[in-house]
Amino acid sequence: MFYPFDFKKWRNFFETEEQYMLFETLSADEFRPLTYLFYRPEMNLVFKSGDDWQLFVEKLKDLREKGFFLGIYAKYELSFEFEEKFQHLRQKGSELLRVMVCKNPLIFDHTSKKISGASKDIGHVLSSDEQEFFFSNLHLKVDQDAYEKKFLTLQKHLQEGRVYQVNLTDFWEASFKGSAVSLYQNLRERQPVGYASLVKCEGVHTLSFSPELFFRINKKGKVVVRPMKGTAPRFSNREEDAQSKHHLSNDLKNRSENVMIVDLLRNDLGKICKTGTVHLQSLFDIEPYRHVWQMTSSIAGFKSKETSIWDVFQELFPCGSVTGAPKIESMKIISELEEGQRGIYTGALGFIKPDNQAIFNVPIRTLTIKGDKLQMGVGSGVVNQSLCDQEYQEWLIKSHFFTEVSKPFDLLETLRWEKGEYLLIDLHLTRMKESSKVLGFSFDLERIVNFLNSVSKEFDERCAYKVRLKMNQKGMIKCKTQVLDKEEPSEPLKLKLSNHVIYDHNPFLYHKTSRRDLYKKERSQARKEGFFDVIFCNQNGLLCEGSISNIYIEREGEILTPRQSAGLLNGVYREYLIKENPSIREVLLVKKDLLTAKKIFVSNAVIGFKEARLFL
């Protein structure tokens, strides 16, 4: 029985911890029964270009022999340090390898559900509500025309016999806002692979969903590599899906790609394994994934006792499946055709245990998030028989698990119309315009104004209306209208506190959007219990807002309201009140301030400013 690691339970840990390396198994496999979490390390070791590699490796060997586990994060450019022909590509002082040194990483056994190595002091950070994420302006750095130029140049090299195969890559880019941890949680469900990793170091998140083993070494010194070459799409129709699998299994072009890399890695293993031990374990295996079929092969051999894990690493790195064949010549062409650095993409992620066992994967299907910038690498192996359009389509197929994940949402404004006009309409439209800029929405002021005017022509002048305006990313608009009761709700309005916390770094708190599932759920329950609204605090205990209102307290003759930085929407009526009443102060408030306040008030654009009362 395979039991998955309960990632949701540990969400808050991953949101709040400063650094960690999670090596997670998402699919059942006799060779991958454990998930490892490296956290709160004894030390971090960093290898930079120009450092003494042998000295660095000796230190790592010493730490392993002393009983430490080593979590490894190696960038593709580390390979330049191993080959003098790439000396001109080295960037002295750039970080190439990071090692997290831990005495007791958390280890989860997928067969027994037992956890070992977990520190008692992390219990308080377990479990939390899922946070939002959003990315916009998603695009491939190289468009199809630019790709074709590179492809034709590469074909020339292939026809001249300079190389037999080259793995050509580039990156998706996007603007990212929200929780990288939530994105990982979402993607791990869409891409359940054997080698998932979530790494946070120096403020950078790496989310890897690799199906490809780089190499594995067991206690007996057996070295196994499993290159992945050959891709075909999956289909929802069972017959089409079976045909796609059959085509991949028998396609000469994909088999040719696979055999080239098998031969390359068999040759690499022959340099570090005992004579006569290198053998082919399997050839042309077809593995199923959510969006693609993948072709893999397995080669194994036995290293001598004198050959260290780092000798194996240096000889095999980077994996031939992400370079081409011959390896050195392919890497030269890659440096000529690809712009910028690959970084962790196509490098190596993995760990070494004190008992000299090791497992590394090839970080393909891998994203990095730094600040508001997101990147994901994508590539394919190009051979003589390759067709440009098919290779570019392969990039898109491999990226489906990621490109389809960002859920669409709308911008919202809830307006009050009475006596022939929309109240505070300028503030509403200004807020929508500013949110459009930040979130990448198309905004046409004239179109929206004309739309609202046409809607109001149907209104009865004797009534007041609530108008809920929705706009999607393309700028398409629609609305719902509701006649408001002539009798105002009796004051004080009843409030309750939510048991859920919100996170001040969630970008959606600062914009009025349809992404408000927690608020909807909590207010729905509150309404059933007879409350007007439910009030939220953030992860630091600071008072924020209600699900549909801003909140204020009266203390010592002053009206105070939470600062927006606590994690709240600058409501239109809040903005209006502060502008018209400079005496209203924005301060940091906590739950106790609410409990001890002389009076409590709430506001929104529909009800205005009303007195309220908190019920515990």
E strand segments, 353-488: 358-361, 366-370, 373-382, 411-418, 421-422, 465-471, 477-483
User: CA-CA-CA-CA torsion for 343, 346, 347, 349, nearest 10 degrees?
Assistant: 110
Question: Which distant-in-sequence residues (6+ apart) come within 8 Å of 244 by Cβ?
Answer: 232, 233, 234, 235, 293
Return the sign of the alpha-carbon dihedral for residues 556, 614, 610, 411: positive
Catalytic hit among 132, 212, 391, 394: 212
- 229 is known as an active-site residue: yes
Cα–Cα distances (Å) from 603 to 324, 496, 607, in that order, read 63, 15, 7
Catalytic hit among 229, 303, 332, 610: 229
Asked if 336 and 312 touch (Cβ cutoff 8 Å), the reply is no
Tell me which amino acid residue 563 is: R
Asked if 55 and 297 touch (Cβ cutoff 8 Å), the reply is no
Question: Which distant-in-sequence residues (6+ apart) come within 8 Å of 308 by Cβ?
Answer: 57, 61
Beta bridge partners of 482: 466
- 156 is known as an active-site residue: no
Quick one: the chain helix, strand, coil %, rounded to 5?
A: 35, 35, 35
Please count the residues of the chain: 616
The Cα 422–Cα 596 span in angstroms is: 37
* Secondary structure string (H, E, C) spanning 364-399: CCEEEEECCEEEEEEEEEECCCCCHHHHHHHHHHHH
User: CA-CA-CA-CA torsion for 90, 57, 207, 400, nearest 10 degrees?
Assistant: 60
Known catalytic residues are 212, 229
